[in-house]
Amino acid sequence: MSLYLPLNPERYHPDPREPVDRWFQTASASNVRTTMEIVADLVGPACSAVVDPFAGGGSSATAARLMDLPFFGIEIDPVLACVSLAKSRATVGHARILQRLPPIRDLESLLSVLALLPTCASADEVAVASCLAVVLALRASRGTPLGYQEITGDLACHRRPAATGRLVCADATVPASWRDLPVPQEDAVLYTSPQFGRRSPLLGAPPRLTATARGVLASVGGDHGRSTTPEDSGFAGTTVAMLRQAAAVMRRATVVIEHEPDDDGHNATEETLERTAAALPGRVHNARFIFCGQFTWRGPLSLIVFDLR
């Protein structure tokens, strides 16, 4: 079955006014409110968690937070993994801890703050505050510093994050990355936007910031040590490889895959669903496409939706 639901592309682009999410939005980020609407429509109130194995800069982490749901994410880029973790777990308390330390204006000041943090915060607080510190350094490296007033103001209009949830910096297509991700076996939504091809925009953070972010995640147990880029197997190949791993640890879930064509306009929606059904025999039910209309110059955005059973 397929539905055609043309939507204003603006509804899929990230909103630069969205509290918390606006701390850092990747070029390919999704719109938080639209993600929430899709999850509410497709899963309803029974949803137990949001799982995003290509978490990027955390639009689904922010959506999970707003829906008061635990967030489980995997992201291969260490800086983006820190951004996602900060968006999903930061509180006003973490911002206040950082505010008492020297300002983060560059990599050197980030390193000083990271060294000081364990002396003035608990281990749990250090993990989240360190990731928030990486976000501040990332914004400073872009010449658009993020102020504490904006952070605390944004957090004041959010509820406290759900107590459970986890993020790992790893390759979502290999089993080890899912081993330490205690995703609920029932009734979660796997909502993700996979890399749509070789030329999908990359973050391009300064290499020393990336190395520092990796160090932060390693020290808090959120890094699984893979520093090489996995082989590019295209949208369908990467998505199916990830879904094999997800299906090994999740018994029942609603799966929503955002698809936008690669730079050459190649549309892999049907191929992805066919290959998924072949890779997971008997587990793909109620599959459908939701076509959302022209999105970028590359072509239309569509959602591949099915129940994993």
Ligand X SMILES: C[S@@+](CC[C@H](N)C(=O)[O-])C[C@H]1O[C@@H](n2cnc3c(N)ncnc32)[C@H](O)[C@@H]1O
Q: Where do contacts with ligand X occur on this chain (CB under 6 A)? A: 26, 28-30, 54, 56-60, 74-77, 80, 171-173, 193, 195, 200, 230, 238
Minimum distance of ligand X from residue 94's CB (angstroms): 20
Contact predicate 43/254, CB 8 Å? yes
* Closest-approach residue to ligand X (CB): 56
Q: How many residues does the chain have?
A: 309
Rounded CA separation 306/309 (Å): 9
Contact predicate 79/210, CB 8 Å? yes
C-beta of 34 vs 130, nearer to ligand X: 34
Q: Which of 180, 165, 170, 166 is nearest to 75 (CA)?
A: 170
Contact predicate 196/233, CB 8 Å? no
User: Which parts of 180-228 fold into alpha helices (H)?
Assistant: 207-219
For 251, the token pair is: 């018994």
Rounded CA separation 212/113 (Å): 12
C-beta of 120 vs 176, nearer to ligand X: 176
C-beta of 72 vs 101, nearer to ligand X: 72
Helices and strands, counts by H and E, the chain: 11, 8
Minimum distance of ligand X from residue 141's CB (angstroms): 17
C-beta of 193 vs 302, nearer to ligand X: 193
Minimum distance of ligand X from residue 242's CB (angstroms): 7
Count Cβ atoms within 10 A of the Cβ of residue 51 and give its class: 0-12 exposed, 13-18 middle, 19 or more buried: buried
The torsion of the CA quartet 170, 62, 255, 51, rounded to 10 degrees, works out to: 40
C-beta of 64 vs 110, nearer to ligand X: 64
Minimum distance of ligand X from residue 50's CB (angstroms): 11
C-beta of 58 vs 70, nearer to ligand X: 58
For 76, the token pair is: 């291969």
Rounded CA separation 272/140 (Å): 39
C-beta of 116 vs 203, nearer to ligand X: 203
